């Protein structure tokens, strides 16, 4: 599956003015993260375990 076929979801923390937009998609082996303002920019792919660790850490902040 290519990243263009993934179901992308915009972060609920993204700005309502179109700024600070982060999108996330769950692939078969990785969680994909991208900047929705610049779809040509590189995407970040991390393991589900690393993503869970990040979300847990961020929730504590």
Average pLDDT of the segment spanning 40-57: 93
Going along the chain, which residue ranges are E strands?
9-10, 22-26, 31-35, 44-46
Q: How many domains does the chain have?
A: 1
Q: What is the per-residue pLDDT for 17?
A: 67
Q: What is the per-residue pLDDT for 3?
A: 66
pLDDT tens per residue, range 7-48? 988 877 666 666 668 889 999 999 999 988 887 888 999 999
Q: Enter the tokens of residue 49.
A: 């375990």
34 exposed, middle or buried (CB, 10 Å; 0-12, 13-18, 19+)? buried
């Amino acid at each position: 599956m290519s990243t263009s076929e993934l179901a992308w979801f915009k972060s609920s923390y993204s700005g309502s003015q179109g700024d600070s937009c982060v999108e996330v998609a769950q692939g078969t082996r990785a969680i994909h993260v991208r900047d929705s303002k610049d779809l040509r920019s590189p995407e970040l792919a991390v393991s589900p375990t690393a993503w869970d660790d990040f979300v847990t850490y961020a929730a504590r902040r």
